[in-house]
Amino acid sequence: MDLIVELALSWLLLWWFHKANLGVLGIYPAKADWIVQFLVGLVLSSSLCALNYLLQTVFSGSIWLWNNDFTLSNFLSSSWWVMHSVLYEELIFRGALLYIAIQKLGVKKASILSAICFGVYHWFSMNAFGNWIMMTYLFIGTGIMGYVFALTYAKTNSLYLPIGLHFGWNLINTVIFSQGPIGNQLLTLKVGERFNTIENMIVLFFSTLALPLISLWYLKFIRASEGKPLMI
């Protein structure tokens, strides 16, 4: 229901400010290249997130325990929960408001504004407010990723690629490795040793920068969307 409300409000904002409809968000009708972009984003982000956990496991000696109570039904319902949360955030931060901001401010300034809002939002969604170390980490990490998500929308004129990138990372993080608000999923962690300083820095930089850098690299191979490309 909340997604329907978001779509309705998005349509109203787009019509009020630019006499445009939801088509400018690149969500319908689905083009073949948009589907490909979603799948590429999904594979890239899920692979990098899995590699991030592999690094953590190797460095710390942690053991992951298989949850025998986790069923296909659990996987499907948890995956939909992740997709729902991704769509909710994308419609807010890369939806009508970003489109309007791009028209007013240009791509770079609008993307920076979107990234700042995305970073601050995670202070509250991750219950980090008051913990300045966690707040700083979340603001930088999610802010960088939010900036890249905004650029992917501007370059492709579609939400499919940012949704794929966002969904892939969150799916592996939440449903496979149980690092989310919905409890134990497929794998549960038996904590190993703590990282040393160098190992901790490697994991920190990888988790923060790997997906944004790979996403920016991939954008170089995408031709700007025909019609009314936003990337300027």
Q: Is residue 112 part of a domain?
A: yes
Are the beta carbons of 192 and 63 closer than 8 angstroms?
Answer: yes
pLDDT at position 193 is 65
CA–CA distance, 84 with 81 (Å, rounded to integer): 5
What's the chain's average pLDDT?
91
Instruction: Report the number of distinct structural domains present in the chain.
Output: 1
- Model pLDDT for residues 199-228, shown as the tens digit of each residue: 788 888 999 999 999 999 999 888 655 444
Instruction: Pick 226 or 110 by higher pLDDT.
Output: 110
User: Whose CA is closest to 126, among 171, 174, 56?
Assistant: 174
Residue count of the chain: 232
pLDDT at position 198 is 83
SS3 of residue 99 by DSSP: helix
Are the beta carbons of 123 and 139 closer than 8 angstroms?
Answer: yes
pTM of this structure: 0.92
Task: Give me the torsion for CA of 149, 121, 43, 191, rounded to 10°.
Answer: 150
Q: How large is the C-alpha radius of gyration of the chain?
A: 18
Say which range, 92-96, 124-128, 138-142, has the weakest mean pLDDT: 124-128
Per DSSP, helices labelled H in the chain are 2-18, 32-60, 72-93, 96-105, 107-125, 132-156, 160-171, 197-219
Each as own residue / partner, the long-range contacts of residues 11-14 (CB below 8 Å, 24 or more positions apart, any chain) are 11/96, 13/96, 13/97, 13/100, 14/96, 14/99, 14/100
- Model pLDDT for residues 20-78, shown as the tens digit of each residue: 999 999 988 778 888 999 999 999 999 999 999 999 898 888 889 999 999 999 999 99
Are the beta carbons of 180 and 168 closer than 8 angstroms?
Answer: no
The predicted model gives 144-164 an average pLDDT of 96
Q: Is residue 179 part of a domain?
A: no
Q: Is residue 131 part of a domain?
A: yes
Task: Give me the torsion for CA of 212, 215, 46, 63, rounded to 10°.
Answer: -40
Within 10 angstroms of residue 36's Cβ, the number of other Cβ atoms is 14
CA–CA distance, 118 with 167 (Å, rounded to integer): 15
Q: Is residue 38 part of a domain?
A: no
Domain range for 130: 53-59+81-160+198-232
Residues 6+ apart with CB under 8 A from 106: 232
Alpha carbon of 131 to those of 73, 134, 164, 177: distances in Å? 36, 5, 30, 24
Q: Is residue 10 part of a domain?
A: no
Q: Is residue 137 part of a domain?
A: yes
